[in-house]
Amino acid sequence: MNINITVECDTCGEKTNCRIGISNREEQPFRFCCQTCGSPIDMILRQSRGGEFHGAKQIQPDLYPFDDKTNFVDLSLDFPVAFGKYVMGKTPFMEAFRRIGHEAMGLHGSRLAYLTEESAPKQRVFALLLKLFRNEKWTPFKTSCKRNFNIEVKSDKPEDRAAALYRIITNVMMPFAYPNQDEEASDYNGRIMQELAGKHPGSLRAFMAEIMGSGFLKNLQNACLEIYPKILEAELPLRPVLFLDFDQKFANNPIPLRISNEAFESYKDLYKDISEIVSRQLVLVAGINNLLKRDNHNAFKSDIGMTKGGKDFTPKSLHDFADVPFGKKLGFIDDSWFEPLKDGADNQLRNAIAHVKTDYDEVNQVVTYYPRLEGMYQEKAEQITFIQFMKRLLQTYREMRRLNHLIKGLFYLQYLIIDRDKPAASTPKA
Ligand SMILES: [Zn+2]
């Protein structure tokens, strides 16, 4: 269903005609910027109680169907919409349907329905549950698993707590997963863990002692756990991005698409935080690669960091590797067992964001960034649209998610194999 309304900008008095594709959410917050003066206009539509407007007021439309001279926006929470003039019948839904077809529309719709009905309402208790796990508050953790998520923690063994935690994460975060990606990552990591335990038991122990003893693995897991609720909180601008999973033409599509709930500034830091986690996760990838190939987690392929000028930057240990800048890390992992996702970690964009070298055009939803550090001169700008940025945010999150399966697998190795083989600490002396 679509509704058509006209609003008048509080700042410049110019009118904007809006065609709004209604989704199945009770509350539908939209944000766009006045094309004349750039001021943000917020509308919250509620199925039961009409609308709320900030930065503009609703007025009677002059004409219907709309003319093509007045400012116009298509708005939809569920689909990307095109910029451009009003064309009768080219509604956000019909355009989306034309792009991906019947079957994919069904899949997209069912993921969004799950997000609206199951995941989003649990945002608060989910964030709290992850915090209880991080802080090792086991009694309330168990209670919350059962009460809020209907998951029983089988025992007080760490592997049973972890199993409950990861089951809940999979359920709540399901709408953000690329179809089957979770299962594949979990199976694949399981096989790697088996290979490590079977073929490299001694050197695996040394690796585990280092990443467990230093707190590295636990801290990294905690960092991942802090991200999940933030992705869930970014639900509104991510909904149209999830649509792109089915829209194969998007990557090469020259027509800019927009998101109807824009706020680039709010997601900059989240992108940076997730990128930094992925960078730390690569330490595990490198350590495991070294184990598989050279039976020693500290042993990088010799001369892999040798420059043409004869300088050798090959990391001397995994500890050294951890300090290597994100963009250079993959280059030190020879013939990696791990295949990174496309756009899963864009170092240049991360750097630009980390050093606050970005400009955002809210009206056209274009992010301009300056990937290279160039002193006072911000030349060589790159541009991406907000929807492309949010797609990279989603991909980077998915990369973190895949590597979180690796963290989970390493903890299981520790609980189920390494801890179990230890002599009991409390054996009384003879
Ligand atoms: Zn205006």
1 Cα–ligand 1 center, Å: 27
Is the distance from CB of 58 to CB of 386 less than 8 angstroms?
no
Q: How far is the CA of 428 from the centre of ligand 1 (A)?
A: 80
Quick one: which of 420, 430, 401, 326 has its CA closest to 166? 401
Question: Which residues, in sequence order, are bridge partners of residue 383?
Answer: 368
For residue 30, give the 3-state DSSP assignment.
Answer: strand
Is the model's pLDDT at 262 over the cut of 70?
Answer: no
> How many A from CA of 179 to the centre of ligand 1?
41
Distance 42 CA to ligand 1 centre (A): 12
Q: What is the value of pTM for the model shown?
A: 0.91
The pLDDT of residue 348: 77
List, for residues 294-308, the tens digit of each pLDDT value: 999 999 999 899 888
- Specify the pLDDT at position 265: 83
Q: What is the mean pLDDT of the chain?
A: 89
DSSP single-letter state for residue 270: H
213-246 pLDDT, tens per residue?
999 999 999 999 999 999 999 999 999 999 999 9
In this prediction, what percent of the chain has a pLDDT beyond 90? 60
CA of 269 to the centre of ligand 1 (A): 28
Q: Answer whether residue 280 shows pLDDT above 90.
A: yes
Query: Bigger pLDDT: 364 or 280?
Result: 280
Residue 34 has pLDDT above 60, yes or no: yes
Ligand 1 centroid vs 34 CA: distance in angstroms?
5
Non-local (6+) Cβ contacts of 412 within 8 A are: 159, 162, 193
- Whole-angstrom distance between the N-terminal and C-terminal Cα of the chain? 80
Per-residue confidence at 137, pLDDT binned at 50, 70, 90? very high
Q: Which two tokens stand for residue 368?
A: 């301009």
In terms of pLDDT, which residue wins out, 338 or 412?
A: 412
Distance of CA 56 to CAs 44, 60, 149, 279, Å?
12, 13, 41, 43
* Cα–Cα dist 218/97, whole Å: 44
Q: Is the pLDDT of residue 429 over 60?
A: no
- What is the rounded CA–CA span in Å between residue 240 and residue 246? 11
For the residues 122-127, what does the mean pLDDT come to? 97
User: Which parts of 340-385 fold into alpha helices (H)?
Assistant: 347-354
Strands 366-369 and 382-385: what pairing? antiparallel
Angle between helices 264-294 and 181-199 (to 10 degrees): 30
pLDDT at 67: 86
Query: 92 CA distance to ligand 1 centroid (A)?
Result: 24
From the list 230, 227, 229, 231, the residue with the least C-alpha distance to 281 is 227
Q: In angstroms, what is the span from residue 417 Cα to ligand 1's centroid?
A: 64
Hunting for tokens 């050798």 — which residue is that?
312
Longest dimension (CA), the chain: 96
Per-residue exposure over 341-367, b if at least 16 CB sit within 10 Å of its own CB, e if not: eebbbbbebbbbbbeebbebebbebbb
Which residues lie below 8 Å from residue 240, measured CB to CB, with a gap of 6+?
76, 77, 78, 79, 80, 81, 257, 259, 260, 387
How remote is the CA of residue 83 from the centroid of ligand 1, in Å? 17
The number of beta carbons lying within 10 Å of the beta carbon of residue 411 is 19
SS3 breakdown of the chain: % helix, strand, coil, rounded to 5?
Answer: 55, 15, 35
Are the beta carbons of 303 and 314 closer than 8 angstroms? yes
Query: Measured in angstroms, how far is the CA atom of residue 15 from the centroid of ligand 1?
Result: 8
Strand partners, 3: 20
Distance (angstroms) between ligand 1 centre and the Cα of 236 equals 24
| DSSP assignment string, 32-66 | EE-TTT--EEEEEEETTTEEEEESEEEE--SSSS-
- Residue 113: is its pLDDT beyond 50? yes
Taking residues 9-26, report their average pLDDT: 92
pLDDT band at 373 (very low <50, low <70, confident <90, very high): low
CA of 55 to the centre of ligand 1 (A): 9
More confident residue, 72 or 426: 72
Instruction: Return the minimum-mean-pLDDT range out of 130-144, 188-202, 274-288, 373-387.
Output: 373-387
Residue 73 Cα to ligand 1 midpoint, Å, equals: 13
